[in-house]
Amino acid sequence: MSQPVRLTPPLSDEQVAALTAGDRVLISGTIYTGRDAAHKRMVEALDRGEDPPFELAGAVIYYVGPSPPPPGRVIGAAGPTTSYRMDPYAPTLIARGLKAMIGKGKRGEEVKKAMQEHKAVYLAAIGGAGALMARCIKQAEVIAYPDLGPEAVRRLVVEDMPLIVVNDVRGGDLYQEGRRRYQR
């Protein structure tokens, strides 16, 4: 098995284009969190001509609503949420420079088209392993929409977060390819 690809955001078009569905990735550096309520607010802000709460160019967003941190930890369990809930908003953010999204589950056709057109990828995190994912998070700070509680936008500093490329810039889809391998 090949070594994982190491990435540090912000990501470039070239870094993202070099990834292929099925590649293992380790991300270290600054990423952001957001779920559907935060995505709705970000897109509404962009529609009004306002800046989003973080620079979208080259950014990575993790679809997570972490639990409160236990004593001595920077964050609680931080497992991925189902990604299709962000599908109505993702194409707008991708068009503005978002380069990678982290979650679980498949994405809609409009999101996949936007990823191909604007060079972005979708990465799967380990579902059901929120405590394990939290170990990769070294710093966490709410930067926008604190009224959303666990769904507020956070700036995370992560180290060696393990991920798998599901959708690449060429239309590769690990979920479809995996299913084809086992069909008769």
Query: Of the candidates 135, 133, 70, 67, which has an alpha carbon nearest to the alpha carbon of residue 102?
Result: 133
| CA–CA distance, 39 with 148 (Å, rounded to integer) | 11
pLDDT digits (tens, 9 = 90+) for 48-81: 999 999 999 999 999 999 999 999 999 999 999 9
The pLDDT, as a whole number, for residue 121 is 98
Query: Of the candidates 33, 25, 118, which has an alpha carbon nearest to the alpha carbon of residue 81?
Result: 33
The pLDDT, as a whole number, for residue 177 is 81
| CA–CA distance, 154 with 10 (Å, rounded to integer) | 16
Domains of the chain, with CATH numbers? 5-182 (3.20.130.10)
Q: Over range 14-36, report the average pLDDT.
A: 97
The pLDDT, as a whole number, for residue 1 is 65
Residue 44 main-chain phi, psi, to 5 deg: -60, -40
The pLDDT, as a whole number, for residue 129 is 81
Torsion of CA 31, 140, 89, 54, to 10 degrees: -70
Half-sphere exposure for 115 (CA within 13 Å, toward CB): 29
Evaluate if residue 25 carries a pLDDT over 70.
yes
Q: Over range 7-13, report the average pLDDT.
A: 98
pLDDT digits (tens, 9 = 90+) for 151-164: 999 999 999 999 99
- 42-56, 136-150, 151-165, 168-182: range with lowest mean pLDDT: 168-182
pLDDT digits (tens, 9 = 90+) for 87-132: 999 999 999 999 999 999 999 999 999 999 999 999 999 877 888 8
Evaluate if residue 184 carries a pLDDT over 60.
no
The pLDDT, as a whole number, for residue 58 is 98
Please give the model's pTM, rounded to 2 decimal places: 0.95
| Tokens matching residue 103 | 């979650």
